[in-house]
Chains A and B, each alone.
Chain A
């Protein structure tokens, strides 16, 4: 086995992902006979060991928990949302908006009839169109990088496509 092949297979070897007995034998033999690759393996192992020890020693500041509690208390109280409540609330909102639009159109119709009967034809003031906001929940992760996706596996969505904020309820489960 050449060193280049050993280096290429090293990660799989280190993580126990090589199942073939013959390949494992070849890698072990190379490790036992090649001084450079043996030093390479030792460097990774020993370096990671030091890193893990450093990780054990790394503790949050003593006031970390208290600051966190204060920050959570200062923010809005999280309201547990039952699975059906959000979509029901959205339905109500849609119904209310539809009713408003219908009312406005019928008002305009009666107004326009009155205007026809009266002398000058007045141009009605442009009214702001209502914005339909369905399920205005915040996605569980805020992204500024549009190329990063939230999930892989059972279902994926890519935030670089035209995905509105209101699709939380439609995310694959």
Chain B
């Protein structure tokens, strides 16, 4: 009988760099921030990995421009990189990053609306959104079924874009980013009562817009 040697798979050896990256991946934000400040060259990349898509989604939903949103998210990371040494590590890194993103997005929208007429229309729209009674049932807006099914995602995108900026920010932070009311208050600079009120109005308006397009 002949002995048959079956080739065994050699164990895949993980490089030290990959090991360090894997270890970073399992740590919380404050530990990664501390690692970056201690000189770990991969720690900042880990923070970018964690937050690039989430921040992009948040800024894009706020300003409605995909390309510009990427520029602003880059600006967020540049500022984070520049000021991380001064960041108060007793606070949540996530809240800080979202606060920077929220302010950049707000400034972007403000810069776009320099036209006095646009400004007035924005103020009027925001005031009406804050004072319109909560309601539902918009029977006038009923597109046909085929259109509804094919374009549901576009309709959802459009519905979010129709929300006034100060409602949209709160809506996205709560529904998509899962932020608590307290975090949203920190990020937007509002008190809790205002956050709740805006969120309720945003959901109300969103439901009004999207309901005719759903099955």
Contact = CB atoms under 8 A, between A and B. Distances in A.
Contacts of B29: none
A148 interface: yes
Nearest to A67: B74
B53 to A, nearest CB: 6
Interface in A4-44: 4, 7-8, 10-12, 14-15, 36-37, 39-40, 42-44
Contacts of A108: none
A54 B99 CA distance: 23
A75 to B, nearest CB: 7
Contact of B136 (A40, A75, A144, A171): A40
B14 interface: no
A153 B181 CA distance: 12
Nearest to A37: B136
B119 interface: no
Interface residues of A, number: 58
A61 B53 CA distance: 10
A127 interface: no
Interface of A: 3-4, 7-8, 10-12, 14-15, 36-37, 39-40, 42-44, 46-48, 50-55, 58-61, 64-65, 67-68, 71-72, 75-76, 78-81, 137-138, 140-145, 148-153, 168, 171, 173
Given A47-B207, A72-B77, 4 more contacts: A43-B211, A47-B214, A51-B176, A81-B85
Interface of B: 37, 45, 48, 52-53, 56-57, 60, 70, 73-74, 77-79, 81-88, 90, 96, 99-100, 103, 106-107, 110, 134-137, 152-153, 156-157, 159-160, 174-176, 181-182, 185-186, 189, 191, 196, 199-200, 203-204, 206-207, 210-211, 214
